[in-house]
Structure 1
């Protein structure tokens, strides 16, 4: 069942006791040797696939990219994260995390209106990877695309966010789905409800001991900072286990936002996952009652709302970065300087903005007018020199550009994007906030003899 998330951030309770995401086996009549009922290796394998895919896009090898996007073959090495001085990683291959996993088959299968041609998310991922292979190190200056950023940010939304909030935390929590009084599959050591919840947690990408970590520590663990190795190596065995001790994807972004703005997105989501999993464990292998299921859905709603806000916060931040890049380009142009580096930064930040904006759409949740607004304001590409922007595809699948207005006018769009995101998703951090500059931009446009609609 699709529904609009009401944007209410549930604050992390400082009084809550720190807990680790690890729970005993509760499955009745289980006779095996397993002590923990937690299992989300498949989700961590997909995080490693995503990280590795992002790393190799600049190489331009299409066959190699497809190994990490759509192949399920054995023997694939983990390209990122890998061991470095002072930060040893336990696993070196995807198979050590989980066998037979890919990214593409788990991606959202709905239509994405924010990209020309209205592809499905799966089609768009394939298209972006192919375009990346035909570009120079993942960069297309003609159309303004940074494929490393577009592929990475959209993959996180279309796979991790979608599968967690739209599948495991919604469809799979309905009565009759994955019952708690039966194994998830024959021979499993965990119940259906336990595993559904664990898979959603795995897609968030947090360390199992996330409640014991500060946002800054989570960020530095993701960056593999050797000074934070002891924080990462929770069990003290001398290596970081990707299955339980590393931070990935949206968990990293939640912590990064919190570290910069003092918000509580990471711990809010982490606490709700812990509370929900404890509720399931307390059922001791019995089918959940209606009251228990209702409470569990409440925790799921908290997770989905805050997770959506994290993605919207990231889009807000990069809209601000795009604005700043356009400011720099204007200054350099006025001084008749070389704008190549500034334009490259502009394209990178636009790719991050667009990837996160597309991610909001890729969960299959109705965003209403907000989605149409984001599509129109951001467009299919950044506005390029001379006022050109990608507006469509031709019959051969090539991009069509048209003149849509100046870069200075596009700055105004970034302010409107930030206003839309802040209001629609009740954002708390609002990093790189440019919304106070509306009047200045309008004055600049009017001084240049241009007109701008201010809706």
Structure 2
């Protein structure tokens, strides 16, 4: 009873404090149209759909199809994911129904990515990964240890969504001379400059508009299109899930997934800051924001950027733990003289997720200092392969150069160091699949094998 009363009081307080859903009326002075909502981020949702669909086709090996979703802008592209299934109907079935003429690569980070051979820009790396995926076996390259499905997906989320939101809309676009709040974003639209700037950042996070009304587990199950959670997704009760406002994507999903597993609060922290910031803009009633208002708005933006970065770092931390476990399984299977192909495939998949998220941290144009150099060196350009080899460079013709590296046992130690580095550098809270307590055991295993571990 006490818990129920407390929950009611908290809910009532939230209602009094402001909006609980990302829905806001028109405030633009002089607007003559019939729109009642000032919220618009359909272009960002189109890019989420492009990303999801690209991930689907990477395993098909058809570069032309992959490029339709990476860099194409043509009409008629089918929406491959999310798509309707039994018990979970989706309103849209094409990219055009979300927004026309959008692609991923033109919005990707154009700075240098040091964690990949050749130091490509983020845009170049996405194009390279797609070209290399087309030469692989259904997105899998066992020779160099690459799972392109994971590398393309995890890096694209960082290079496009995270980068554009925190390095563009929540930073430079909040300055006074950028899209002021007392002017329309462009002629004929029902929203002000600052309203739309904030909306575009929110769209890239990928949360349902009613995200504050959902638990992390509900957000996770909505993303997975679990029919048992359809009613939770269908906020307006019209019988279909509108991808523009009722679906969860990308880092919103990962934030909720971490929270559901660890009891942290990343998803709601980010969602609340987005809603509160948008409420602040709406409360200005179409007037130019004062310096004090912009200062408060920048504080919300900083909360979002910090927690969003932590979500990506938490995901990298988790997959470093998965890579560690995979290496243990490979060693056990080898010792039993079994078939290591399945264990190696899982190892490559999890490494792709680790590397993709680590590269995503670079893709916001933010100085990570020693953390970036440490992640690059500890993770390397590929997993450690059989024969103690690792990719060290590209050959200039789209291939990779391998050289001798430490052993897989030493690479386990690297994964512990990666977790320590991420936890300390980004003040992580969840730390799922934490292997940092096993360092002494790994060192003993290395010593027993007569190996020396370099202390990067």
Return the TM-score normalized by structure 2. Answer: 0.96
**Superposition pairs for residues 76-115 of structure 1, below 5 Å?**
76-115=77-116
Cα shift readout 1:172-205 (whole Å, capped 9, x = no counterpart):
0011101000000111110000000000000000
Answer yes or no: is the 8 Å Cα contact 2:132–2:398 preserved in 1.
Answer: no
Distance 1:397 1:451 in 2: 33
In 1, are the aligned partners of 2:220 and 2:253 still within 8 Å (CA)? yes
Aligned to 2:4: none
SS where residue 330 of structure 1 aligns?
A: helix
Number of residue equivalences = 443
Question: In the alignment, which residue of structure 2 is the partner of 1:380?
Answer: 381
Q: Deviations over 1:347-392 (max 9, x none)?
A: 0000000000000001100000100000000000000001000001
Distance apart, 1:397 and its partner CA: 3.4
Equivalences for residues 339-354 of structure 1 within 5 A: 339-354=340-355
Matched with 1:257 is: 258
Instruction: Give, in angstroms, the shift of residue 396 of structure 1.
Output: 2.5
CA distance in 2, matches of 1:224, 1:324: 29
Alignment of 1:265-284 (within 5 A): 265-284=266-285
1:159 corresponding residue in structure 2: 160
CA distance in 2, matches of 1:202, 1:450: 50
Q: Which residue of 2 aligns with 1:389?
A: 390
Q: Give the match for residue 14 of structure 2.
A: 16
Residues 169-184 of structure 1: pairs in structure 2 closer than 5 A: 169-184=170-185
What is the alpha-carbon distance in structure 1 between the residues aligned to residue 395 and residue 210 of structure 2?
Answer: 50
2:5 maps to what in 1? none
Structure-2 separation of matches of 1:352 and 1:395: 25
Instruction: Report the counterpart of residue 45 of structure 1 in structure 2.
Output: 46
- Partner of 2:31, secondary structure, is coil
Structure 1, unaligned stretches of length 5 or more?
1-12
2:251 partner SS: helix
Counterpart of 2:14 in 1: which secondary structure?
Answer: coil
CA RMSD of aligned residues (A): 0.9
- Look up the match of 1:144: 145
The gaps in structure 2 that reach 5 residues or longer are: 1-9
Q: In 2, Cα distance between the equivalents of 1:313 and 1:182? A: 39
Cα drift, residue 453 of structure 1: 2.6
Per-residue deviation, 1:88: 0.1
Q: Would you say 1:238 and 2:249 are equivalent positions?
A: no
Give, in angstroms, the shift of residue 242 of structure 1.
0.1
Where 1:385 maps in the other structure, the secondary structure is coil
> Could you tell me how far 1:408 is from its partner in structure 2?
0.3
Greater relative contact order (Cα < 8 A, sep 6+): 1
* Residue 393 (structure 1) shift: 1.3
1:405 Cα deviation (Å)?
Answer: 1.2
